[in-house]
Amino acid sequence: MKVLGLLLFGLLGLCSAQDKRVLVLLENMAVKETHSIYFSMLQRNGFALTYKVADDPTIVIKKYDEFIYENIIVFAPTVEEFGGALSAETMMEFVDRGGNLLVTAGSVTGDVLREIASESGFEVDEDNTYVIDHHNFDAAKDSGYHIRVVASPENLVKSDIIVGTAGKLPLLYQGTGLLTDPSNPLVIDILTGATTAYTHNPQQPIKEYPHTVGKSTVMIAGLQARNNARIVFSGSLEFFSDEFFQAEIQTGNGKPVPSGNFELAEALSLWCFKERGVLRVDGIQHSKLGEGSAPEFYTIREMVQFYIDVKEKVNGEWVPYQAKDMQVEFVRIDPFVRANMQVSKGGLIGAKFKIPDVYGVYQFKINYHRLGLTRIATSTQVSVRPLRHNQYERFIPSAYPYYASAFSMMFGVFVFSFVFLYHSDETKKKTE
C-alpha cells in the first residue's frame, strides 16, 4: 500500500508538472541572463522552462498532433521567422487548441510577431518608433529622447485578477506602442500611456499625426479567446529585464522610488498561464423544490431549484467560487426566466424559480463572463409538459360567475316546473 501511495503521488506530481510546461524562445542566450529574475520567478511558481533560440531549426512544439507545451514565451522581438516547423500559423493553432502565449515586441519587431499580433487583435507600430512622454520619464537614466517612460499605475486595467497588487508603484517602460481594436470585446488594454504619451521615431521630426496618441497608446495588451486561451503582448522586452525590475525611478526633482515592474510581470504571467482567474464547473444539479434528484420531466407552474458547483483556482488549489453576480436563464427560444443566483452554505451557487405556464423543451443556461476570469458557458436541457387531465383545478375561482348562472338556471327551471305543474292541477279541479 505504501508503494502504491508513493506511485500515485508521483503520478499526480507528474501531471501537475505537465500542466506547467513552458517553451521560452529567446533572441539569443544572453537574454536568459539579462532576464534571470523573471525566469527564476517562473521556476519558483512551479513552471518547467525549456529554452530555445527563436530561429533554432530543432524547435518542435507538436508531436503526434498533440502540443507538448501548455505555454510559450517569445522574448525575441527582431526574429523574422521561427525555426523548425514553427510559424505564425502554428502559433495561432496553438492558441486555438487552448495554449497560452506571452510575446514581447520592441522598437524593431519582426514580421512573424507582427502577424501574431494582427491575428490577436493588436497592431504594432512601425520600426524604430518608441513610446515617448515628455512629462513622465525617468530623469535619472533617460537618454534625452524621453523614451524611458514612467507609466502610472492608474493606467492599469481595473482588475486585481490580472495585475495583482501592482497598482501601487510606478512602472518603467521602454519600447514601441500597440494599437488595439476597440470593437473586439476579447482584447484587454492592460497598460496604457498617459494623455501626454505618443509613439514616434524620437530622432525624426513629427510631420504626420502619430500612430497612437494619449490613452490609445497601449503598452501591454491582453486577449482571452472564447476557448479561454490567453495572450499577453508587450511592446517592450526591457520591461521584463533585471535592470527594470531593480530600477529606482526618478521623475522630476522627486525622490527615487522602486519600480513595480516585477510585481506586474509576475501577476501577468500567472494570469496568462492560467494560475489565476481560472474557473471550472464541477457539477450541475436541478430538481423540483424540496426534492433531491432530477425528474424525467417537469410540469408547468412547478417550483424548481437549480445549483451549479463552481471552483476557482487560488494558489494552486481549487476552492468554491463566491459569486454574487451570476444568473441562470430558463430558455426555450428566448429566456422565459432570468434569476439571480446566491451562494448556499455548501458552496453551491443556486436559484429557485417557478416554471412558466408554457410547455416545451427548455434549457438551464449560464453564460458568465467577467474581466480576468475564464468564461463559464453551460446548458442543461429539460422538457416541460402540460398538466395531466387530473391535475387541473376542479373549481376555478374566475369561473364562479358561470357556476352561479348555471345553478340559478337549474333553480329557475325547478321553480318554473313546480309552478307549471301546480297551476295545471288547480285548473283541472275547478273544471270538474
- At residue 367, the 3 state secondary structure works out as strand
**DSSP 8-state assignment for residue 66:** E
CA–CA separation, 202 and 384 (whole Å): 68
CA–CA separation, 147 and 167 (whole Å): 22
> 281-385 has which CATH code?
2.60.40.1930
For the chain, give every domain's residue range: 2-272, 281-385, 397-431
DSSP element (H, E) containing 313: strand 303-314
Do 168 and 260 form a contact (C-beta atoms < 8 A)?
yes
CA–CA separation, 377 and 322 (whole Å): 17
Bridge partner residues of 258 (DSSP): 248
Cell of 380: 442543461
The two beta strands, 298-299 and 376-385, are: parallel
Q: How many Cβ atoms from other residues are within 10 Å of residue 343's Cβ?
A: 16
pLDDT, residue 424, reads: 61
CA–CA separation, 28 and 52 (whole Å): 8
Q: How many residues does the chain have?
A: 432
The two beta strands, 335-340 and 298-299, are: unpaired
Contacts of 19 (CB under 8 A, 6+ apart): 70
Cα–Cα distances (Å) from 49 to 36, 73, 94, 96, in that order, read 12, 10, 17, 22
pTM metric for this prediction: 0.84
- pLDDT by residue for the chain (432 residues), tens only, comes to 433 343 333 433 434 456 689 999 999 999 999 999 999 999 999 999 999 999 999 999 989 889 999 999 999 999 999 998 899 999 999 999 999 999 999 999 999 999 999 999 999 999 999 999 999 999 888 888 899 999 999 999 999 999 988 778 899 999 999 999 888 999 999 999 999 999 999 989 888 888 899 999 999 999 999 999 999 999 999 999 999 999 999 877 678 899 999 999 999 999 999 999 999 999 999 999 988 888 989 999 999 999 999 999 998 899 999 888 899 999 998 999 999 999 987 789 999 999 999 999 999 999 999 999 999 999 999 999 998 877 777 777 788 888 889 889 998 888 888 887 777 666 566 665
CA–CA separation, 81 and 30 (whole Å): 19
% the chain with pLDDT above 70:
93
CA–CA separation, 130 and 350 (whole Å): 51
The two beta strands, 218-224 and 187-192, are: antiparallel
CA–CA separation, 175 and 156 (whole Å): 17
CA–CA separation, 276 and 267 (whole Å): 8
CA–CA separation, 179 and 118 (whole Å): 10
- 185-210 pLDDT per residue, tens: 999 999 999 999 999 999 898 888 88
CA–CA separation, 13 and 65 (whole Å): 24
- 287-346 pLDDT per residue, tens: 999 888 889 899 999 999 999 999 999 988 999 998 888 999 999 989 999 999 999 877
The torsion region of residue 127 among left (phi > 0), alpha (psi -120 to 50) and beta comes to beta
Do 136 and 150 form a contact (C-beta atoms < 8 A)?
yes
- At residue 407, the 3 state secondary structure works out as helix
pLDDT, residue 243, reads: 95
pLDDT, residue 5, reads: 42
CATH 3.30.1480.10 fits 2-272, yes or no: no
pLDDT, residue 279, reads: 94
